[in-house]
Amino acid sequence: MAVPSSSLLSSLLLLALFLHHHCSAAQDRGSAAVVVNISAVEDVVRDRAFELLHRTDKLVGVPLTACPSACGLVEVQASALRVRSSSLWADGVNATDAAAGTAGFTVPPRVVPSPFARRVDVVFERFVGSNSSGALFAAPPGYALAAPVAALLAYDVSTGNNGSRAVGLRALGAPVRVEFGDLSSAAANGTQPFNATAARCVTFAVASGQAKAVATHAMASDTACTVTGTGHYGVAVRLQPPPPSPTPPTPQPPAAVRERWWA
Ligand SMILES: *[C@@H]1O[C@H](CO)[C@@H](O)[C@H](O)[C@H]1NC(C)=O
Ligand SMILES: *[C@@H]1O[C@H](CO)[C@@H](O)[C@H](O)[C@H]1NC(C)=O
Ligand SMILES: *[C@@H]1O[C@H](CO)[C@@H](O)[C@H](O)[C@H]1NC(C)=O
Ligand SMILES: *[C@@H]1O[C@H](CO)[C@@H](O)[C@H](O)[C@H]1NC(C)=O
Ligand SMILES: *[C@@H]1O[C@H](CO)[C@@H](O)[C@H](O)[C@H]1NC(C)=O
Ligand SMILES: *[C@@H]1O[C@H](CO)[C@@H](O)[C@H](O)[C@H]1NC(C)=O
């Protein structure tokens, strides 16, 4: 794959956003679960990314103190870069640093925005913190998330900083790859070591601002999932089976015994 990753990345704008929505109103609601609208949070990230990609060619951290309309205690780490679809097609984007064991993504060549856009802001988000992934993204039944959920999103630049400009990225060649970083400590949980063979990549669908696990597939490596394009992705490990119940159902007893039991 001829991806001139470092030169491409240095010629693109790359930034990091650290949002720490700290909404006291939401906390004051007591024990009731706070419903956070994921799409609303991502709209804030999108708008910040658009502003920063407009004015900055450096990696910058942006503390976001305002609580958006979707209140909640949500911690999002995001990075974004602006790329022409022609170079997306020709070169892809490599925004991983596997050596450092950090999360990131690789968009291979032969990826097109859908619907088509000449330039896109590619945004990579991680829902970090115990109140983010766990609260917003439920693992499939019997599984627990092993790492912060990651979202790969793309937005048409040409419409300006205007809502409703999300586009998909469709990989026509090699799949897109999402790196979750070092998972060995993330999933240890004091019980079992992380086992990528047994773990599952989880695809979440987000509708009306709420996420739902819709599919799982095998991991591509100890740290990465291959995916078809933009979306929300997680890694889940199977929960320990519950301990045997104190009164396990005994094998079906002979009829005579059962009659005695129920007599
Ligand atoms: C969530 O936020 C998005 C974008 O701001 C909005 O379009 C949608 O209506 C919201 N959903 C709910 C259930 O509030
Ligand atoms: C992307 O970066 C990673 C880590 O530096 C490297 O291992 C990989 O070969 C790169 N992929 C491409 C397509 O350049
Ligand atoms: C998560 O939210 C609860 C209250 O909703 C708060 O007490 C706790 O400190 C939060 N945890 C983190 C890591 O922010
Ligand atoms: C990890 O521990 C927490 C609380 O101790 C528990 O809720 C969760 O299910 C555990 N996860 C796994 C994968 O065992
Ligand atoms: C903003 O988006 C709306 C809905 O897609 C569209 O009608 C409007 O023309 C856009 N405005 C600009 C300045 O692009
Ligand atoms: C990892 O999981 C696979 C599939 O469940 C299993 O065959 C393998 O023995 C496990 N490896 C370890 C080191 O537990």
What is the whole-number distance in angstroms between the Cα of residue 167 and the centre of ligand 5? Answer: 14
Other Cβ atoms less than 10 A from the Cβ of 206: the count is 18
Task: Check pocket membership of 162 for ligand 5, CB cut-off 6 A.
Answer: yes
Task: Check pocket membership of 90 for ligand 4, CB cut-off 6 A.
Answer: no
Is a pLDDT exceeding 50 seen at residue 204?
Answer: yes
DSSP state, 96?
A: -
Q: Identify the band that residue 183 occupies on the pLDDT scale cut at 50, 70 and 90.
A: confident
Atom of ligand 2 nearest to the CA of 94: 1
Is a pLDDT exceeding 80 seen at residue 35?
Answer: no
Q: What is the pLDDT of residues 240-262, one digit of tens each?
A: 766 666 665 555 544 444 444 43
Atom of ligand 5 nearest to the CA of 164: 5
Average pLDDT over residues 106-115: 94
| Beta strand pairing call for 103-107 and 176-180 | antiparallel
Average pLDDT over residues 130-154: 86
Percent pLDDT > 70 in the chain is 63
Is a pLDDT exceeding 50 seen at residue 137?
Answer: yes
Atom of ligand 2 nearest to the CA of 5: 14
> What is the residue extent of each domain of the chain?
11-238
Contact status, residue 41 vs residue 70, Cβ threshold 8 Å: yes
Task: Give the helix, strand, coil percentages of the chain, each rounded to 5.
Answer: 20, 35, 45
Ligand 1 pocket mutation pick from 21, 35, 38, 39 by most atoms within 8 angstroms of CB: 39
CATH topology of domain 11-238: Chondroitinase Ac; Chain A, domain 3 (2.60.220)
Is a pLDDT exceeding 80 seen at residue 28?
Answer: no
Atom of ligand 3 nearest to the CA of 131: 1
- Strands (E) in the chain, as ranges, are 14-21, 63-64, 74-84, 93-95, 103-107, 111-114, 119-128, 143-145, 149-156, 166-171, 176-180, 200-207, 210-218, 224-227, 231-238
CA separation (Å) from 260 to 40, 86, 135, 163, 263? 63, 79, 50, 71, 5
Supply the pLDDT for residue 244: 65
Is a pLDDT exceeding 60 seen at residue 171?
Answer: yes
DSSP state, 137?
A: S
